[in-house]
Amino acid sequence: MRFGRPLGALITVGLIILVGCLGKTTDSPAPIDILSPGKWTSLAPMPTARQEVAVAELNGRVFVIGGFGSGGEAVPTVEVYDPASDRWETRSPLPAATHHAAAAVVGGRLYVVGGYTGGRTSWTPLRTVYEYDEARSSWSTRAPLRVPRGGLAMVTLGNRLHAVGGSADRATGAHETYDPASDRWTDAPPMPTARDHLAAVVFEGRLWAIGGRTSFVGTQYEIVEIYDPATDAWSTGPPLPVGRGGLAAAALGDRVYVFGGEAPLRIFSATEMYEVAGKRWIAKDPMRTPRHGIGAAVVGNRIYVPGGSTQPGYAATDANEVYTP
């Protein structure tokens, strides 16, 4: 959820209020899988309602990092969900309150990259990179991004992190890779389409960059672009049934799943799966709580989607739901 620079802040706030009042829930227009739609289950709610969070799995637990609190303020909060006990624990907070960051794990360490500081109408894009050592429950600062940005996506491909997209003053196609051994970021071929609020997964050894947008009221992309490390090049993938930003995605087995998202005046309950054999997206059981500003983490054979916002704009929730294909 990015509304632009402070210029025009009053207009933006008015738009947020209007959208929050008029936002409607939209399901997927994709063909519906009647025979095996999967199932959503509600779990223990997060201790604090948050949206625009970073989410990652580490050692069988789901980390939910930073975001906006219920008052639209940036928070450094880190809470961890244990699927085995259906319980939450609080961990050491981020060194600074951050929202719209990205998170991923490589080499047994959790990394939180980029994002913004500030709340509601005035945001500052970040280059910060934090590494979490679970054994010590502590954060350390690592080499910063080359391009400051929030609303980006990040995955682990091989033994490196890949950070794609996001925005500072405008959406970017920036693509940087991080080598934890040398603590160094390197430029990689940029995404063909500049966008923020996108989702990303690793599927069949390639990076899938999914959806996103140019701005809150700008172009909402259905685009899927795929980076192949073997050729060091991008190609076009199967487009989403409908464009949106603020969605989450996960790869599980031989399937790619996408969840939720927002567009002007709309909030999505959609759960969609890409079927490789049929080369198409299929609609699954819709989310119990339509949301954007979310992340997804896979533990075992289930996909966990905590937090987010229940309206376009600001409406943080403590929802914690899991999808079982």
Q: How confident is the model at residue 26 (pLDDT cuts 50, 70, 90)?
A: confident
Backbone angles phi, psi at 208, to 5 degrees: -105, 120
Per-residue b or e along 232-254, where b marks 16 or more CB atoms closer than 10 Å to that residue's CB: eebeebbebbbbbbbbbbbbbee
Q: What is the sign of the dihedral through the CA atoms of 225, 195, 152 and 16?
A: negative
Distance of CA 9 to the CA centre of its chain: 25
Rounded CA-CA distance 42/46 in Å is 11
The predicted model gives 313-323 an average pLDDT of 96
Structural domain boundaries of the chain? 9-324
Per-residue b or e along 153-174, where b marks 16 or more CB atoms closer than 10 Å to that residue's CB: bbbbbeebbbbbbbbbeebbbb
Rounded to whole angstroms, what are the CA distances from 132 to 106, 139, 159? 11, 5, 17
Q: How confident is the model at residue 6 (pLDDT cuts 50, 70, 90)?
A: very low
| CATH (one of 3.90.1150.10, 3.40.30.10, 2.120.10.80, 1.10.760.10) for 9-324 | 2.120.10.80
Answer yes or no: are the C-beta atoms of 95 and 76 closer than 8 Å: yes
Answer yes or no: are the C-beta atoms of 306 and 317 closer than 8 Å: no
The predicted model gives 14-28 an average pLDDT of 57
The predicted model gives 262-273 an average pLDDT of 94
pLDDT digits (tens, 9 = 90+) for 163-193: 999 999 999 999 999 999 999 999 999 999 9
Answer yes or no: are the C-beta atoms of 304 and 296 closer than 8 Å: yes
At 40, the amino acid letter reads: W
